[in-house]
Amino acid sequence: MSNPLEQFIVKPIIPIEINGIDFSFTQSALWMCIGVACTFLLMSVTMRKKANVPGRWQNLGEVFYEFIASMVKDSLGDEGRKYFPLVFSIFMIVLMGNLLGLIPYSFTYTSHIIVTGALALFIFILATIIGFARHGFHFFSLFLPEGTPVLLAPLMIVIEVISYLSRPISLSLRLFINMVAGHTLLKVLLGFTGALTAAFGIWGTTLGLLPVLISSALIGLEVMICFIQAYIFAMLTCVYLRDSIHLH
């Protein structure tokens, strides 16, 4: 049985090195491009006809649109309309990365902390810039909840600052850990089938059906987790933007 962690190794497709710095085009970059292309193709197909009575494909596009639009409105109010393209793009990028990784011989780019960390850091910096742009130095009031006793103020400020600075860490680790754990478990269980067959022949094949059945159930669970993790990532993006806009 092959190493279940081997699927997470980044390998160059087009080696490029400039002044000792590696700029190689990897399979991770390739699947990111595929993820963007699939998102563009999906939305293009679903929104192509725009019929008054939507068909199946248009229904699918409208489900995604209304789902994210509702999330943004509930979190940010009517003012959040301008942030809809950002939240929708983040949701689809994460979702495509999660789902495409379930295809055999593909690559799950959301299983790498550098990818999830870059997305989380971008959201964190953007939310902070928006907060200062809207409120100036009054943005620092976010770190001192209203009504906090004077004696507890220093402790609360430290706790709130640490909590705020840990946002990109928790946001990136949550997605990264879930994708690595799920895909590793699937690889291990599917690998048992081949190992049992090689060791025990026809009896091994029979025994190997059990991991296959379990893996089939886990694939369904993993698809659900892919949607849940994309939803959580998008929802927390809305929460961070809401704090920067409304200082709640």
Is the pLDDT at 82 greater than 60, yes or no?
yes
Range from 36-40, 49-53, 118-122, 181-185 carrying the lowest mean pLDDT: 49-53
What's the CA gap between 222 and 226, in Å, rounded?
6
What's the CA gap between 223 and 239, in Å, rounded?
25
- Reported pTM: 0.84
Residue holding tokens 């793009």?
89
Average pLDDT over residues 173-191: 82
Backbone angles phi, psi at 13, to 5 degrees: -100, -45
Q: For residues 176 and 205, which has the higher predicted lDDT (pLDDT)?
A: 176
* pLDDT value of residue 199: 59
What's the CA gap between 124 and 168, in Å, rounded?
6
What's the CA gap between 200 and 208, in Å, rounded?
10
Average pLDDT of every residue of the chain: 83
Q: For residues 192 and 170, which has the higher predicted lDDT (pLDDT)?
A: 170
Sign of the CA dihedral 58, 61, 63, 67? negative
Provide the 10 A C-beta neighbour count for residue 77.
Answer: 12
* pLDDT value of residue 210: 63
Is the pLDDT at 142 greater than 60, yes or no?
yes
Assign 154 a pLDDT band (cuts: 50, 70, 90).
confident
Q: Which amino acid is at 25?
A: F
* pLDDT value of residue 204: 46
* pLDDT value of residue 2: 63
Intra-chain end-to-end CA distance of the chain, in Å: 51
What are the domain boundaries of the chain? 6-246
Of 122, 231, 108, 123, residue with least CA distance to 176: 108
Over the Cα atoms of the chain, what is R_g?
22
Choose from 60-69, 147-156, 201-210 the range with maximum mean pLDDT. 60-69
Residues 6 or more apart whose Cβ sits within 8 Å of residue 177? none
Strand ranges for the chain from DSSP E: 12-14, 17-18, 21-22, 25-26
- pLDDT tens figures, 186-217: 777 766 665 655 555 555 455 556 666 766 77
- pLDDT tens figures, 98-120: 998 888 788 889 988 999 999 99
Backbone angles phi, psi at 211, to 5 degrees: -60, -35
Average pLDDT over residues 25-51: 85
Of 113, 67, 111, 112, residue with least CA distance to 235: 67
Is the pLDDT at 163 greater than 80, yes or no?
yes
| Burial bucket for residue 196 (CB in 10 Å: 0-12, 13-18, 19+) | buried
Residue holding tokens 């409105």?
73
